[in-house]
Amino acid sequence: MVFWPSIVVATPAHSGVGATLTYRSELSLAPGALVRVPLGSREVLGVVWDCPDTPPEGLTEARTKVVAGVLEGLPALNGCWRQLVKFSAQYYQRSLGEVALAALPPQLRELDSTQLARRLKRRAKAAAGVPPTAPEALQGHDLSAEQAEALQALAAATAPVLLYGATGSGKTEVYLRATQAVLETAAPENEAPTQVLVMVPEINLTPQLEARFRERFEPAFGAGSVVCLHSGMTPAQRLTSWLAAHTGSARIVLGTRMAVFASLPGLRLIVVDEEHDPSYKSQEGARYSARDLAVYRAKVESEALAAGGALLQAGPHPRPLPEGEGARGGGVVNPRCQVLLGSATPSLESWHAADQGRYLRLEMPGRIGGGALPRLRLVDMNHQPKGAVLAPPLVAAMGERIARGEQCLVLLNRRGYAPVLACHDCGWKSGCPHCSAYRVFHKLDRTLRCHHCGFTERVPRACPDCGNLDIAPVGRGTEQIEEQLAGLLVDVKRPDGQPARVARMDADSTRLKGSLEVQLAALHSGEVDVLVGTQMIAKGHDFRRITLVAGINADSALFASDYRAPERLFALLMQAAGRAGRDAAQSGASEMWIQTWYPQHPLFVTLKKHDYPAFAAEQLTEREQAGMPPYGFQALLRADARTQQAAQAFLNIAAEQAAGLPHRDQITLYPAVPLTIQRVANVERAQMLVETDSRGALQRFLSAWQPVLHACRSAPEAKGLVRWAVDVDPLSI
């Protein structure tokens, strides 16, 4: 008998190759099976999507190729996984093949059946070799009342849950307990053991979280029970983690946004920590939001489970869960897959969903131990000595803290020594020859570096234009603040009589593998008294001895053109403040200092009260009036070209050709504009905003627009176009 499997292979969105390719096979192949198939002159990895025993109309044996082999020993990817991939491709306007293959570990593409069999055997051996050391060891903290309540509400919830918990309220313990509850639930016979997916914005930033999950679960569930998935791993490590998750030997996957696509046959809970974090949105390929996909995935998994494990073979369209099922009356819906989004500063999208009742909001307003949130102190820079980078009262306050054995954090969102180097004689500035941006002065290695294209040169001895020897840095970055603080605090002594120690943590200082851990450890152990850094110091860390946090240049974001800038600034400052006073004993005296020229700005007034709900309500009102997300729906059409003219021409032709497409009358297409940083690496960039008040209309319009966009590529006016892309639900405009 001959079968005619339709198979998904890696095809870029623009290749024009259809969603699936038809092959022949003498075996019936399960949907989701991984196969190797010929494509052109190569043999590539493919995923079986369907396997009918009749050929599609018009296809003959002569015109189809034969499946080269099946990756044996590997279970098929289940229906939920395939549905997630299919939805992502449709929603984010990419090809099915691109999304499906990008969701698999890259190394899987290179293995044949024999190599894979060897891998699997080694895996099985390793998994069997590490039994739990202490099956009963699942010690956690005694829960606070708020944690216990949140967990109880979570257990009964049927909607996605938004855990709105203050910084230091103990959200991690809630994740751990919720995970434990899932892992202790036995899966039905012949089904994969229960699994949990925990997502974090940047795993390297929070080695603490990984350690907590390992400590808690490995003694009870074995050393292979917790695996990581993120882009910092080697291809071999990623494959190992992926296989462990796919075969069910890993019970917990801890990962960054890419982990949302992990194959998890026993998935029962998805945790999205710091759900507001922009790094959940991919900025290349399919520009997906891992947070939004997590919510979708949990829904699909729940429906499949409710349908009795049929894993969606029946139909691709998820049904909504019955309203309020199980939430009241104490009954718990089982089995299902829950999604738990956590943050002290939720995204306005999630906050709005909770306002509307689509998500269940659970609150943990108090800090563990009853500590207070830090007091906000605004330093009016209008009243400080002219040219002062750090206000004298702030430096004095830091000195007092250090003398008492406490620690300080100084936040500045700009790395390097100074953003520009300039000649005051002729006006030369350290522009990048390849980008419409300045190169940043890095004093440590005396280079000028472009943070957009990477172009790096030694600092010139004299002005390249006029020969003036006196070229000087303008503005300041973390390197300079570190240097200045070391000088300003030179007479300050720690309680042990040693001089105060200032360190820096940013993308430069943490470039080498392992250096971030070393720097964090130095802070935790008290070796360092002041840590200067970019936003990476504000994220999720559980510092115990920080009592003062200072934001020294927040103003630039106050007047940014991007309508999301206030949301991001508020979240950043509140998260930064949240690093202070986490030890309840010291929290009463903890402070967040902000240097600003605009102390009356309403954002600071709300921040002073730590009133996130008030801030969110204000922002949402503004967004509603302006028809902005989450009330309106947006996409960006982006074009990169050799000239700005060609980039814009492509966008304009695409807009013209959109006439008559479905839902065109509900869609606003804005004029094509250059990006803020218009040229990067000698490529000119432009974009066009697509806006509507209906998500459905946007989706259908974009789908219909795809073939038009492909065709516009070859318009003579667009000659020089390098690439184009659609970004659905863009985060920055």
Ligand X SMILES: Nc1ncnc2c1ncn2[C@@H]1O[C@H](COP(=O)(O)OP(=O)(O)OP(=O)(O)O)[C@@H](O)[C@H]1O
Applying CB under 6 A, the residues found at the interface with ligand X are: 141-144, 147, 165, 167-173, 344, 368, 540, 542, 578, 582
Which CB, 274 or 303, lies closer to ligand X?
A: 274
Beta carbon of residue 558, minimum distance to ligand X (angstroms, whole number): 24
Q: Which amino acid belongs to residue 660?
A: G
Tell me how far, at minimum, the Cβ of 581 lies from ligand X, in Å: 11
DSSP string, 145-186: HHHHHHHHHHHH--S-EEEEE-TTS-HHHHHHHHHHHHHTSP
Distance CA 246, CA 264 (A): 5
By CB neighbour count within 10 A (0-12 exposed, 13-18 middle, 19+ buried), where does 661 fall? middle
| H-helix segments, 588-717 | 602-608, 612-626, 644-657, 695-712
Residue 122 burial (CB count, 10 A): 12
State the CB neighbour count (10 A cutoff) for residue 559.
10
Q: Residue 171: which of ligand X, Zn ion, none does it interact with, CB under 5 to 8 A by kind?
A: ligand X
Has 423 been labeled as part of a binding site? yes
Of 118 and 141, the one with the shorter C-beta distance to ligand X is 141
> What DSSP element (H or E) covers 329?
none
Of residues 452 and 663, the one with the C-beta less far from Zn ion? 452
Structure tokens at 437: 């941006």
Among Zn ion, ligand X, none, residue 455 binds (CB under 5-8 Å by kind): Zn ion
In the shown chain, the binding pattern of residues 347 to 386 toward Zn ion, with x for contact by CB under 5 A and - for none, equals ----------------------------------------
Residue among 14, 123, 443, 452 that touches Zn ion (CB under 5 A): 452
Q: What sign does the dihedral 669-673-678-679 (CA atoms) show?
A: positive
Is 426 marked within a binding site?
yes
Q: 540 is in the binding site of which of ligand X, Zn ion, none (Cβ under 5 to 8 A by kind)? A: ligand X
Of 271, 91, 145, 277, residue with least CA distance to 202: 277
Q: Residue 450 binds which one of ligand X, Zn ion, none, with CB within 5 to 8 A depending on kind? A: Zn ion
453 is in an annotated binding site: yes
Listed residue (356, 279, 339) closest to 84, CA to CA? 339
Question: Nearer Cβ to ligand X, position 370 or 387?
Answer: 370
Q: Cβ neighbours of residue 633 under 8 Å, at least 6 residues apart?
A: 691, 692, 693, 694, 695, 698, 729
> 219 vs 540, which CB is nearer to ligand X?
540
Could you tell which of ligand X, Zn ion, none binds residue 669, using a CB distance below 5 to 8 A set by kind?
none
- The span from the first CA to the last CA of the chain, in angstroms, equals 55
- Shortest Å distance, C-beta 170 to ligand X: 3
Residue 265's binding partner among Zn ion, ligand X, none (Cβ under 5 to 8 angstroms by kind) is none
Q: Quick one: 234 exposed, middle or buried, by C-beta within 10 A (0-12, 13-18, 19+)?
A: exposed
Residue number, 708 or 722, with CB nearest to Zn ion? 722
Strand ranges (DSSP E) for 450-545? Answer: 456-458, 471-474, 502-505, 530-533
CA distance 557 to 564: 10
Candidates 97-105, 295-303, 425-433, 490-498: pick the segment binding Zn ion (CB under 5 A): 425-433
**One residue of 176, 258, 373, 450 binding Zn ion per CB under 5 A:** 450
Rounded Cα distance, 1 and 7, in Å: 18
Q: Which amino acid is at 61?
A: E
Kindly report the number of other CB atoms within 10 A of residue 403's CB atom: 14
Tokens standing for residue 24: 């022949």
Identify which of residues 282 and 547 has a Cβ nearer to ligand X in the complex.
547
Which of the choices ligand X, Zn ion, none does residue 574 contact, using the CB cut-off of 5 to 8 A by kind? none
- Cα–Cα dist 102/263, whole Å: 13
Binder among 67, 127, 176, 435 for Zn ion (CB under 5 A): 435
Q: Which of 432, 492, 550, 688 binds Zn ion (CB under 5 A)?
A: 432
Report the alpha-carbon angle 161-165-168, nearest 5. 140
Question: With CB cut-offs between 5 and 8 Å by kind, which of ligand X, Zn ion, none does residue 453 bind?
Answer: Zn ion
Q: Which is closer to Zn ion, CB of 312 or CB of 435?
A: 435
How many CB atoms within 10 Å of residue 637? 25
Q: Which is nearer to Zn ion, 36 or 451 (CB)?
A: 451
In whole angstroms, the minimum distance from the beta carbon of 521 to ligand X comes to: 16
Give the residue closest to Zn ion by C-beta: 450
Structure tokens at 549: 């946090």
**Is 450 annotated to bind ligand?**
yes
Phi first, then psi: what are they for 197, rounded to 5°? -110, 125
Question: Closest approach of Cβ 176 to ligand X, in Å?
Answer: 9
The CB-of-416 to Zn ion minimum distance in angstroms stands at 14
Distance of CA 65 to the CA centre of its chain: 40
Indicate whether 74 belongs to the interface with Zn ion (CB under 5 A): no
- Cα(382)–Cα(390) distance, integer angstroms: 13
Which residue type does 13 have? A
- Nearest distance, CB of residue 630 and ligand X, angstroms: 22
Task: Select 422 or 450, whichever has its Cβ closest to Zn ion.
Answer: 450
Q: Which of ligand X, Zn ion, none does 173 bind, CB closer than 5 to 8 A by kind?
A: ligand X
The verdict on whether residue 337 carries a ligand-binding annotation is no
Closest CA to 165 of 2, 361, 6: 361
Q: Which does 255 bind (CB under 5 to 8 A by kind): ligand X, Zn ion, none?
A: none
Residues 6+ apart with CB under 8 A from 189: none
Least spacing, CB of residue 431 vs Zn ion, in Å: 9
SS3 call for 292: helix
Query: Least distance to Zn ion from the beta carbon of 503, Å?
Result: 29
Please say which residue, 78 or 172, places its beta carbon nearer to ligand X. 172
Q: Which of 455, 563, 598, 670 touches Zn ion (CB under 5 A)?
A: 455
Exactly one of 214, 434, 494, 608 binds Zn ion (CB under 5 A); that residue is 434
Instruction: Count residues near Zn ion (CB under 5 A).
Output: 7
The CB-of-452 to Zn ion minimum distance in angstroms stands at 5
**What does DSSP say about strands 502-505 and 530-533: parallel, antiparallel, or unpaired?**
parallel
Q: Which stretch binds Zn ion (CB under 5 A): 120-128, 248-256, 427-435, 662-670?
A: 427-435
Say whether 712 counts as a known binding-site residue: no
Q: State the nearest-atom distance from the C-beta of 651 to ligand X, in Å.
A: 40
Quote the tokens at residue 154.
């979570």
CB of 207 to ligand X, least distance (A): 13
| Distance in Å, CB of 500 to Zn ion, minimum | 37
CA dist 356 and 624 (Å) reads 14
CB atoms within 10 A of CB 63: 10
Enumerate the known binding-site residues for Zn(2+).
423, 426, 432, 435, 450, 453, 463, 466
Enumerate the known binding-site residues.
423, 426, 432, 435, 450, 453, 463, 466
Residues at the interface with Zn ion (CB under 5 A): 432, 434-435, 450, 452-453, 455
